Chains A and B, each alone.
Chain A
Amino acid sequence: MRPKIAVLVAGVVAVTAVTATALAVTPGETPFPSPTIESVFVSTQTVTGPSSQLGEGVLSNYYPRGATVVFKVFAADVKSGRILTADDVKYAYVAIPNQSNVKLSYTAQVTRSDPTWLGTWTVPADYPTGLVDFAVRFRTTGKQFGNFTQIPVATSRLNVTK
């Protein structure tokens, strides 16, 4: 009799847990990038380099071959809310298809909305034109991981032009 009760209780707990999880996300919605960020929040913008026709530091996702893409990155520990500094991070880089990883360097914030990590990539003259499916990856010294991927709207993703 006891094992049956235990199984029944376990079943009720499982159903309750599933229901609670389901209630945290409205059915039919797919929040970007995911319903929860588990350990490290990472956000990234791409802005123009100093030699751009648009001027330096202009937000853009279209870059001709030879242009410099500046990655402006912010990262924080989700659980504690702490903004990650160089002391907290084992590695931080931008992964670009068919390219060496672009290492990110820490730079202290001046204002609340400043990025804390910077990296630059000069688009090679022979790099294929079209979408660049880059990702930004962090690992903390406490073995927490975080990633950034682009919003899946094709015209707003990093794009290399002639």
Chain B
Amino acid sequence: MKRLMLVAGLAAVACVTVLSSVAQAADPPQKLDVFLYVDTVNGSRPVGAARRPISCTQTNTFTRGEQLVFRVWGTQAGTGDILSSENVKYAYVSIPGLNNLKLNWGAHGAQSNRVWFWTSALNVPADYPLGDAVARIVFKTEEGTFGRYDFAFTVVPVLKTASLKATSKKPAAKQKPAARS
């Protein structure tokens, strides 16, 4: 009987330990070292699909062959300095099944009002799995702090609404699939 109780006790302790560690892993942090803004827009130069009527509109739904552009800006906690090439060691986007995409610091917008932020473009491969996926944006600052952001996007066979559909029915040249990691 004692042995049975001992086994039951150990099992209970193990269960609590596992649940506790799962809870800790799932808990979001209360403080961050780096804050990030992330969105995605449709790029103006898709290589495997027709262009949409308007480029650079915010969307997280893409078809294969379309150009998905990540736009990111952020700041360091403590100093409040905006993340730029001056204080970032590296920045990239990690996408399931693909090589990491380097984020580039550059100027965007109208000539009269150009602003600088981080971008990276992906031509969605012709064989990329349909459905939901999560891209992870990672920044490492020169101070050694990290910023991470998980961004959900969806790859669909066709776009849903007429306003977002491409202007031309004729697809562009067949896209060469991106290298897989």
8 Å CB contact of A62 from B55, B160, B163: B163
| B110 and A152 within 8 A (CB) | yes
What total count of A-B pairs have CB within 8 Å? 147
B23 CB to nearest chain A CB (Å): 12
Which residues 8-56 in A have Cβ within 8 Å of B in the complex?
24-26, 29-39, 41, 43, 45-46, 53-55
Does A112 contact B110, Cβ atoms closer than 8 Å?
no
Does A100 count as interface, using CB distance less than 8 angstroms? no
Q: Is there contact, CB below 8 Å, between B114 and A83?
A: no
Contact B109 A54 (CB under 8 A): no
Whether B28 sits at the interface, judged by CB under 8 Å, is: yes
CB-based contact B36/A111 at 8 Å: no
Give the complex CA separation of A37 and B81 in angstroms: 6
Within 8 A of B (CB), among A81-96: 81-83
Contact present for A26 and B85 (CB under 8 Å): yes
Whole-angstrom distance between the Cβ of B130 and the nearest chain A Cβ:
15
CB distance from A48 to the nearest CB of B (A): 10
Judge whether A43 and B163 touch: CB under 8 Å.
no
Residues in A neighbouring B36, C-beta threshold 8 A: 43
With A53-B161, A156-B41 as known contacts, state yes or no: A58 contacts B59, CB within 8 Å.
yes
A131 to chain B: closest CB distance in Å? Answer: 12
Is B92 among interface residues, defined by CB-CB distance under 8 A?
A: no
The 8 Å CB contact of B28, one of A24, A53, A114, is A114
Closest CB-CB distance, B31 to chain A, in whole Å?
4
With contacts A110-B28, A111-B150, A114-B28 known, is A37 near B75, CB below 8 A?
Answer: yes
Q: Is B144 an interface residue (CB 8 A)?
A: no
What chain B residues lie within 8 Å of A36 (beta carbons)?
A: 75, 79-82
Complex interface: chain B residues within 8 A of A153 (CB): 41, 56, 108-110
Q: Are A76 and B82 in contact (CB under 8 A)?
A: no
Which residues of A are found within 8 Å of B114, using beta-carbon distances? Answer: 30
Please, how many angstroms separate the alpha-carbon atoms of A110 and B82 in the complex?
26
Question: From residue 56 to 73 of chain B, which have CB atoms closer than 8 A to chain A?
Answer: 56-61, 71, 73
* Residue in A26, A81, A83, A151 whose CB lies within 8 Å of B84: A26
A2 interface hit (Cβ, 8 Å): no
Q: Is B149 an interface residue (CB 8 A)?
A: yes
Identity of the chain B residue whose Cβ is nearest the Cβ of A32 in the assembled complex: B115
CA distance A153 to B41 in the complex (A): 11
Instruction: Assess whether B37 is in contact with A81, with CB atoms less than 8 Å apart.
Output: no
Does A105 touch B at the CB level, under 8 Å?
Answer: no
Verify if A129 is at the interface (C-beta below 8 Å from B). Answer: no
Q: Which of B80, B84, B116 contacts A78 (CB 8 A)?
A: B80
State whether A41 and B115 are in contact (beta carbons under 8 Å apart), knowing that A53-B161, A54-B161, A155-B56 are contacts in the complex: no
In this assembly, does B21 line the interface, its C-beta being within 8 Å of a C-beta of chain A? no
Q: Are B32 and A83 in contact (CB under 8 A)?
A: yes
The verdict on A26 contacting B86 (CB below 8 Å), with A31-B116, A43-B36, A53-B161 known, is yes
| B127 at interface, CB cutoff 8 A | no
Chain A residue nearest to B84 in the complex (CB):
A31
Given that A24-B81, A29-B116, A151-B117 are contacting pairs, would A62 and B28 also be in contact in the complex, using a CB cutoff of 8 Å? Answer: no
- 12 extra A-B contacts, CB within 8 A, seeds A34-B82, A54-B161, A62-B164: A43-B36, A45-B58, A59-B61, A78-B80, A79-B78, A83-B31, A113-B149, A113-B150, A151-B71, A152-B109, A152-B110, A153-B41
